[in-house]
Structure formats: C-alpha cells, structure tokens
Amino acid sequence: MKISSFSYLIRQGFKGIWRNKMMTFASFCILLVSLIMVGFSILISINLDKIIGNIEEQSEVAVVVRDKVTNTEMIQLQTKIEEIPNVTEVDLYSRDQAWKDMMDKMTDAQKDYFKYADENPLPDVFRLKVKDIQKLNDTTSQIETFEGVESVQAPKEFADMLINFRRIFIIVAIAIVVALVLVSLIIISNTTRASVFTRRKEINIMKYVGATNSFIRIPFFIEGMLVGLVASVCALIITKFSYEGVYNILTHEHKLFGFFGFNNIYSFDSMFLAVTISYLVAGAFIGAIGTSISTGKHLKV
Amino acid sequence: MVEFKDVSVTYSSGVDALNKVNLKINDGDFAFVVGPSGAGKSTLIKLILKEIDATTGTVLVNGYNLRKLRRRKVPALRRTIGVVFQDFRLIPTMTVYENIAFVLRVIDAPAKYIRSRVPYVISLVGLSKKAKSYPTELSGGEQQRVALARALVNDPQLIIADEPTGNIDPELSYEIVELLKGINECGTTILMVTHEHDLVRYFGGRIININKGSIQFDEVIGGSNEDK
C-alpha cells in the first residue's frame, strides 16, 4: 500500500471518530470501565501474589545437629547447607543460646527442676530460609543426607497448602481477567456494530468498487485503536490516583494491615511503566479488535 | 468480455433464478437486458460481480473464470467492472469529487493521477461546477451522472448499469443512455438492465430479453433515433 493511501485511511479513521461522536463516546466509556476493572483485577492479583510470596519466604526450616559434632564439622555443615541454591539464609541457633533462652522463659520453680542437670540436653540448630517453597521437599531431603544432621524439621503441610492456594489463586485470577477481557470485547464490538451499521452502505459501495477487506477495515481499526488509546490514558490516570489512595491507607494510615502483610504491596511508581504499557496495549487492542469484529459481518458481499 | 456457459442458479429457497443460460457479450458491445421483475436480471448481475456463484455452468468475466476465482481475488475482478445502480449509492458524507476519487484510492492509484483523472471524468459527465457539492444538493439526474463518473473513473473494461434511469425523470433518462453510448464508443463494454421499453426502442442495439430464468430473445434491432 502506498504512503498516500495509508495517510488517507488514517485521516478517514479520524474523520470517523468525529462523524460518530455519540457512538465513539459510548465505546470510550465502556472501554474505560473495562480497562479499570481489568487493571484493578491484575493489580490486586499481583499484590496478593506478593503477599503470599512474603508468607512463603518467612517459613523456616530447622536443621537439628547431632550431639558431639566438632566445631570444624559444624562449619563444614553450614558451608554445605549454604551451598544449596534454594537456601537463602542460614543462622546457627547454638545449644548454649537455646538453653539460655529457655531458662529466661522459665519460672523459678521450673528452673529449680533443671538446677541439678549436669548437661545441656538441647541440640545445635541451623535455622534457614528457602527461596522456592515448591522445592522444599527436595531441599530437606538433601540436607538429611549430610554428615552430622540428626533431623530436619520443615513446615511441609503448610508449604503444600500455600503452594495449592497459590496455584488456585493464579488460575482464578487468570480466569477473571480473561473473562473481563472477553466481556469487554463483546460489549465493544456490539457498541461499534451500531456505528458500523450506519456505514454499511459505505462498506457496500467499497466492496463493489473493488476495495480489499483490509482497505475497508483499516479506518475502522484506526478509529477503534484511537478510542482505545484515549480510554487507556484516562484509565491510567484514574487507576494511579485510586491505587495510591488505597496504598497510603494500607501502608501508612492503618498500620494494622501490616499484620496481614499488606504493608508489603507494590507502590504505583514501581509498576508505573508496566501498567502504562499494559493499559495502552490493552486499550488499543480491545478497541481495534472490537471494531474489526463488527466490521467483518458487513464485508461478506 | 462476459460469457455464460450453461449457467443455472437455484437459490437455497429452491427458486430457480436462471436455467441453463448461454450468453456472450464481446468487448465493446452495448447490450440492453430487459425482462419483467423476477425474470433473473438481478441474478445475472450478481453472478457477474461474483456476489453469488452459479449452481452449475461457467461464468467468464474479463478473463476471470468465476468458478475458480478465490475470494481474495474478487476485488481484482471488481476493479475491471464499473457499476451504476438505480439508487445511485453515493456516499452522502463525501462531495462529488470525493465520491469519485474514492474509487481510485481504493485501487491505490497515485495521488497525482487522482488529481488529474477525477476532474476530467467530472467534466465528461458535465458536472465540473458541482465538484464540491454533496449528493443531497444534487438532482436525481445529476446524482446518476456522478454515479456514472464513478463507474467510469477507473477505466473499467465493463460497465454494468442496473436500471440507471429508474429513479430519474424520463427526459433525463435519454441523457444518461447517451452518456453510456458515448462511453461505449470509447471501447468500454456496457450492459444496461432496464424496464423502459421506450428507451430501448429509441436507441436500439442488442437486446437480451430474459424471462423465467431463460433468454427468450437476443437480437440486434434498429433504434427509432436512427430514423431521424
């Protein structure tokens, strides 16, 4: 296609917006609402995912060390544990420290009971955190094989529950987003159908004079895309201010939410680029495709 | 050139619109297609434009075998044909100039060619002063002349005029046919469907009479205008 033809088609797209002001406005409003709904669904999803991730990171594994392990052996064991790729942090909770902490928590009567104990019965323990909770079983099995390890205690059931919860959560989140996108596409294609219907005569004439389907579609496509882009910019502004409002409430004004891990959610600025690109792409895509769907019906002449 | 070989069309409703029609219209011919409503005239046009396909038989138009022509090649076929409709079918939001230029834009013609060709064609139909008018500002006869210019601008091999005089004053009808005759003299094949027997008798030429899906009569007659 020649540049002059392409610029003509782009001009036609702009003219179309002006000619069908009411329909354009209706499409714009629907797209705006759809984008905000989809956008917030995604933002809520990724934040919930982060909160679950934080909970996962906090789950701890305890490696109980056998009695009578020498200091050198202890250091070797720590090094071996640290070398496991899935392990992030390793802290030694020594038997002496554990004994002291236990004593501190005891009442005097309880302490009396241990007064004559000639030896500290507690073991040395390595406390460690894992990167990926899904690999928890593999990591613990590996540690169990190390020399000097008595046992490994890990919150396996809790981990399984979290893994399952996260899996279901991801499926539900994707389903909701896909459903919202589909509903938006259907509504947009129905709204633009009315505007296309008023121009079916024009489309019909184009077909008779030998216009290709793409030639007929391009102005409608551009029209839909422009409406989509304007709607996404507006949706972005609304999302930014609403999100920041909610963010401030959760992180600053009501610190109680921090107990549930809500203080760890993403700030809007950290997601600004991703959100902007997603909105612009989604707006242009839904606008353009929605219009194309309704145009297609009139092309079969 | 248009050629029908044993062409039959049966619609899904079971109606036989055309029945084993054989017809040949050579390049440069001018033919009137006449016949009562429901005779099969519209079906004939729809076949030529490949709006519908023949149930049996072969349709050849300007070198294309329409049975073998793929959907995506239909625009190429239609670019060799100019169509004039009874109801003009002009785009109301475009001026006379834009309505005509539009056809050239569709076929991706260079902007420079559009700028020279469109005013020329508008002058051929005598509407130079109305180039910037909108269709609603024109009379029926003028609108049909715009439609004719639009059919002509692309320099097609064949022009199909479907009842072009049906919506305009009788005295203007002669003017339209005169224009079509003039275009024909430049080598374009013209196929004009009409109800108006007076017009046919006046101009004469090749007359194809269709009735009940068959060709009843296909002959050349002398026109009364030749007697004058």
| pLDDT digit string, tens, across residues A46-82 | 888 888 777 777 778 888 988 878 888 888 888 888 8
Contact B108 A2 (CB under 8 A): yes
For residue B55, what pLDDT is reported? 95
Which H or E run includes A62?
A: strand A60-65
Rounded Cα distance between A170 and A38, Å, is 15
What is the CATH topology of the domain spanning A60-154?
Answer: Alpha-Beta Plaits (3.30.70)
For residue B77, list chain A residues with Cβ-Cβ distance below 8 A: 210
Contact A210 B49 (CB under 8 A): no
Annotated domain spans of chain A: 3-55+161-299, 60-154
Within its chain, how far is the Cα of B49 from the centroid? 10
Nearest to B62 by CA among B148, B144, B185, B154: B154
* B79 has a chain A CB within 8 A of its CB: yes
Minimal CA separation from B224 to chain A, in Å? 34
Strand ranges for chain B from DSSP E: 2-10, 16-25, 30-34, 56-61, 64-65, 81-84, 158-162, 189-193, 205-211, 214-221
Rounded Cα distance between A283 and A28, Å, is 10
Copy the structure tokens of residue A111: 């302490």
For residue B79, list chain A residues with Cβ-Cβ distance below 8 A: 209-210
In total, chain A counts a number of residues equal to: 301
* A12 has a chain B CB within 8 A of its CB: no
Q: Is pLDDT of A254 > 80? A: no
Top residue of A1, A12, A203, A208 to mutate, by most chain B CBs within 10 Å, is A208
A207, closest residue in chain B (CA to CA)? B75
CB pairs under 8 A between A and B: 49
Nearest neighbour of B106 by CB, restricted to A4, A204, A211:
A211
Nearest neighbour of B106 by CB, restricted to A2, A204, A210:
A210
Specify whether the CB–CB gap between A169 and A49 falls below 8 A: yes
For A283-292, B53-62, B218-227, which range has the lowest pLDDT when averaged over its residues?
A: B218-227
* B108 has a chain A CB within 8 A of its CB: yes
Contact B91 A207 (CB under 8 A): no
Contact B106 A206 (CB under 8 A): yes
Phi, psi dihedral angles at A285 (to 5 degrees)? -65, -50
**Residue B63 pLDDT level (bands cut at 50, 70, 90):** very high
Contact B77 A202 (CB under 8 A): no
Rounded Cα distance between A189 and A37, Å, is 18
What does the pLDDT look like over A165-206, one tens digit per residue? 878 888 988 898 888 888 877 877 777 777 777 778 778 888
For residue A101, what pLDDT is reported? 86
Copy the structure tokens of residue B96: 């006379």
